[in-house]
Amino acid sequence: MKLPGMFKLSPEVSKAILHGKPVVALESTVITHGLPRPQNLELAQSLEAIVREGGATPATIAVIDGELCVGLEPAQLEALANNPSVRKLSSRDLAAAVAQKASGGTTVAATLRIAASSRIRVFATGGIGGVHRGSQWDISADLPELARQPLVLVCAGAKAILDLPATLEQFETLGVPVVGYGSDNYPAFYSVESGLSTSNRVDSAAEAAMLARTHWQLGGGGVLLAAPPPVETAIEREEVEAWIVQAQAEADAQDIRGQRVSPFLLARVAELSNGRSLQANLALLKNNARIAAEIAKELASANTLNA
Ligand code: PSU
Ligand code: MN
């Protein structure tokens, strides 16, 4: 596959894409800005291992020295996770990072773009961005980018720190199907239920793949596949809510804005919950990677049958 020079596919990922093998994209802002050290690197490595065990090739995406890297070498992943000064790169930030030969973790939005250009069709993350509480104009670029790029995004819904009803309305406006995986409930990231409903439900990876392929045939872009977080580490909504309200009040008082809001809230909720939210976050990320590998396999085998 010929991509512009700024793209750098790892040999493993390049081969998998070329042969129509299942590939799962993984984002890197969760590594650089979403999780504390050393859990961030451990998590990044286990997500890759889970995708491999599931029979797919992991493609962790990041920008390193201005190159759009699709699939990282172990040393690159380590360097990224241990460098506290790398950038958080959303869609709007990619051109500057490339031009300035900078490095950074790519958000869901930026990862969607790079993955779509590389013809990857499945992507696993923890929770997608969305509409922030209190400031309805702070809407993550994750939303319009998901509407545009034809991928299945496996996540536990939007991050609970957000205004979930407003975020769900945005998906409807943008024409993004919000599909529950084995559930009618729209999950709330740390919690199994948000009190909101999904627009559809599937009960297997094969059904998810079929729905996505049909959406793409109809000219659609992204599909949000909402998987409930594992019950062992999930937290009741009421309990989480108190921590979020406190963290948001602190963010407002300290005038935290823009790109800093989500990392601040996630870190503060982890502190206020004595690490319980972190455990839930790690568990759901792994769960989503496992499901994404299954869907990638379904999509790849359907492609072979149609060839
Ligand atoms: N999921 C997690 N932790 C994270 C993120 C997702 O479990 O840190 C990241 C993703 O990269 C997502 C970003 O794109 O948070 C959203 O940032 P913002 O709200 O600034 O758009
Ligand atoms: Mn924002």
Kindly give the distance from the C-alpha atom of residue 104 to the centroid of ligand 2, in angstroms, as a whole number.
Answer: 17
- pLDDT by residue (tens digit) across 120-145? 999 999 999 999 998 889 999 999 99
Query: Considering every ligand atom, which ligand is closest to the CA of 135?
Result: 2
Percentage of the chain modeled with pLDDT above 90: 95
* Ligand 1 atom, smallest distance to 189 CA: 7
- pLDDT by residue (tens digit) across 164-175? 999 999 999 999
Q: Which residue has the higher pLDDT, 303 or 224?
A: 224
User: In the structure, what pLDDT confidence band is assigned to residue 109 with cuts at 50, 70 and 90?
Assistant: very high
Active site residues: 27, 159
Mean pLDDT over residues 146-163, rounded?
A: 97
Rounded-to-integer distance, Cα 246 and Cα 182, Å: 32
What is 57-87 written as a DSSP string?
Answer: EEEEEEEETTEEEES--HHHHHHHHH-TTPE
Residues with CB under 6 A from ligand 1: 27, 29-30, 33-34, 107-109, 125-127, 129, 140, 142, 259, 262, 266, 281, 285
- pLDDT by residue (tens digit) across 23-49? 999 999 999 999 999 999 999 999 999
CA dist 34 → 158, 169, 174, 191 (Å): 14, 25, 26, 18
For residue 307, the model assigns a pLDDT of 47
User: In the structure, what pLDDT confidence band is assigned to residue 1 with cuts at 50, 70 and 90?
Assistant: low
Rounded-to-integer distance, Cα 132 and Cα 130, Å: 6
Query: Considering every ligand atom, which ligand is closest to the CA of 285?
Result: 1
C-alpha dihedral, 173 to 210 to 218 to 27, nearest 10°: 50
Residue pair 294/54 in contact by the 8 Å Cβ criterion: yes
Nearest CA to ligand 1 atom 11: 107
* Ligand 1 atom, smallest distance to 140 CA: 21
Q: pTM to 2 decimals?
A: 0.97
Percentage of the chain modeled with pLDDT above 70: 98
Q: Which among 42, 39, 83, 44 has a CA at the least distance from the CA of 61?
A: 44
Kindly give the distance from the C-alpha atom of residue 12 to the centroid of ligand 2, in angstroms, as a whole number.
Answer: 34
For residue 48, the model assigns a pLDDT of 98
Average pLDDT, the chain: 96
For residue 303, the model assigns a pLDDT of 76
What is 271-298 written as a DSSP string?
Answer: HHTTTHHHHHHHHHHHHHHHHHHHHHHH
Mean pLDDT over residues 226-249, rounded?
A: 97
Length of the chain: 307
Kindly give the distance from the C-alpha atom of residue 108 to the centroid of ligand 1, in angstroms, as a whole number.
Answer: 7
Query: Considering every ligand atom, which ligand is closest to the CA of 141?
Result: 1
Rounded-to-integer distance, Cα 301 and Cα 245, Å: 45
